[in-house]
């Protein structure tokens, strides 16, 4: 099983001990004192990231991390820029390092909610800018990730996007189908209620067609049949859902799949959600106990 430790300078501290009252916190205090009083330690800095260590800790890494990418517009406006600049910054500077970090840690699935069904209500100029950004991302950025062995999947109704974007997205899903480093799911035109209604209607349609062929199915719908009609079919439920941006809600994100997910909320806006912020979320996750109702 994969494990985590924390590393301070050249000191490696068992990660499960890095909590209030634990030896890890004491070691960090000692390290700070060493830096203050011993010249040889003065130039050393704490490394703000996890490493894949020997099996010395009881902490596991989540298999599936999902991120609600919130706060792009607020970040842009705080800098006096148009809203689209926040979206562009995330695509150009944030997403690839996060994917790289997940690959490094052995996280198998990363889901990114990039566009919701409600986002169509936004200002026309912002929407046009976002569509151009999707075109650029599917032309250049996704190609870079594909070269790293990233598999892409789409959750949500991509067919509502402009036809060229939908074709690009589906092409990358097909081209990357055999990549194995990590699966990155882009939630595009995704809404949780719409997904559930879509699954219900698909099952009703199938049963009606069976009835027409003389094979009426009166069995109750089970969870396995229902899940097979969700856009996440074949993807494990997220272990950890992260929402940057300061909002304390899921806003309809993966309502069926998130029932046992651990939730992490932060005031950090998405354009500032760096690898270090991801590690903080993983640190918080690592100190939780998941019981699944037991």
pTM: 0.81
Identify whether 70 is a catalytic site residue: yes
Check the annotation: does 116 bind a ligand: yes
Whether residue 130 is contained in a domain is answered as yes
> Both 232 and 113 in a single domain?
yes
Q: Is residue 293 part of a domain?
A: no
Q: Alpha carbon 106 to chain centroid distance?
A: 14
178 lies in the same domain as 238: yes
Q: Could you tell me if residue 129 is inside a domain?
A: yes
pLDDT at position 218, please? 82
217 and 117, same structural domain?
Answer: yes
Q: How confident is the model over 151-208, as pLDDT tens digits? A: 999 999 999 999 999 999 999 999 999 999 999 999 999 999 999 999 999 999 999 9
Name which of 168, 163, 109, 98 is nearest 140 in CA terms: 168
Q: Is 9 a known ligand-binding residue? A: no
Determine the Cα–Cα distance for residues 242 and 248; give it in Å rounded to an integer: 10
Whether residues 47 and 93 share a domain: the answer is: no
Spot the catalytic one: 70, 237, 239, 279. 70
User: Is 21 known as a binding-site position?
Assistant: no
**pLDDT over threshold 90, residue 211:** no
Is residue 122 marked as binding? yes
Same domain, 207 and 242: yes
**25 and 157 belong to one structural domain:** no
Same domain membership, residue 120 and residue 12 = no
Q: Does residue 58 sit within a domain?
A: no
- The domain of 118 spans 64-286
Task: State the average pLDDT over residues 136-151.
Answer: 95
Residues 115, 189: one domain?
Answer: yes
Cα dist from 255 to 153, 174, 193, 204, 258, whole Å: 19, 27, 8, 21, 6
Q: Is 88 known to sit in a ligand binding site?
A: no
User: Do residues 10 and 99 share a domain?
Assistant: no
Higher pLDDT, 294 or 275: 275
Q: Are 145 and 115 in contact (CB under 8 A)?
A: no
Average pLDDT, the chain: 86
CATH number at residue 97: 3.40.1180.10
Residue 96 assigned ligand-binding role: no
Catalytic residue among 119, 146, 157, 179: 119
119 labelled catalytic: yes
Instruction: Label each residue of the chain as H, E or C.
Output: CCCCEEEECCEEEEHHHCCCCCHHHHHHHHHHHHHHHCHHHCCCCEEEEEECCCCCCCCCCCCEEEEECCCHHHHHHHCCCCCHHHHHHHHHHHHHHHHHHHHHHCCCEEEEEEEEHHHHHCCHHHHHHHHHHHHHHHHHHHHHHHHCCEEEEEECCHHHCCHHHHHHHHHHHHHCCCCCCEEEEEEEEECHHHHHHHHHHHHHHHHHHHHHCCCCCCCCCCHHHHHCCCCCCCCCCCCEEEECCCCCCCCCCCCCCCCCCEEEECCCCHHHCCHHHHHHHHHHHHCCCCCCCC
Q: Which of 36-40, 178-182, 234-238, 270-274 has the lowest mean pLDDT?
A: 36-40
Of 109-113, 128-132, 212-216, 274-278, the poorest mean pLDDT is in 212-216
Domain annotation covers residue 214: yes
Verify that 26 and 140 share a domain, yes or no.
Answer: no
Number of domains in the chain: 2
What is the per-residue pLDDT for 32? 53
Residues 85 and 25 in one domain: no
75 labelled binding-site residue: yes
78 located within any domain: yes
**164 and 226 share a domain?**
yes
At 7-25, the pLDDT tens digits run 434 444 444 444 433 334 4
Residue 292 placed within a domain: no
Tell me, yes or no, whether 294 lies in a domain.
Answer: no
């Amino acid at each position: 099983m994969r494990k985590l430790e924390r590393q301070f300078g050249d000191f490696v501290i068992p990660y499960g001990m890095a909590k209030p009252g634990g030896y890890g916190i004491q070691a960090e205090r000692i390290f700070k004192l060493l830096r203050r009083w011993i010249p040889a330690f003065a130039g050393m800095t704490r490394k703000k990231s996890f490493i894949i260590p020997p099996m010395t800790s009881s902490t596991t890494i989540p298999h599936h991390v999902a991120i609600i990418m919130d706060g792009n517009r607020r970040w842009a406006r705080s800098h006096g820029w148009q809203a689209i600049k926040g979206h562009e910054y995330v695509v150009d500077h944030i997403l690839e390092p996060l994917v790289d970090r997940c690959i490094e840690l052995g996280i198998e699935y990363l889901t990114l909610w990039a566009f919701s069904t409600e986002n169509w209500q936004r200002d026309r100029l912002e929407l046009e800018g976002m569509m151009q950004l999707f075109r650029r991302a599917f032309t250049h950025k996704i190609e870079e990730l594909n070269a790293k062995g990233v598999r892409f999947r789409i959750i949500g109704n991509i067919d509502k996007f402009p036809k060229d974007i939908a074709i690009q997205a589906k092409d990358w899903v097909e081209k990357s189908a055999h990549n194995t480093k990590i699966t990155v799911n882009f939630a595009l035109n995704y809404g949780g209620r719409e997904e559930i209604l879509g699954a219900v209607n698909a099952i009703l349609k199938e049963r009606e067609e069976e009835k027409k062929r003389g094979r009426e199915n009166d069995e109750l719908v089970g969870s396995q049949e229902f899940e097979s009609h969700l856009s996440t079919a074949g993807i494990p439920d997220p272990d950890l859902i992260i929402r940057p941006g300061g909002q304390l809600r899921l806003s309809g994100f993966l309502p069926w799949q998130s029932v046992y997910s651990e939730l992490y909320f932060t005031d950090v806006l998405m354009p500032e959600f760096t690898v270090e912020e991801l590690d903080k979320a993983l640190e918080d996750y690592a100190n939780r106990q998941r019981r699944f109702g037991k």
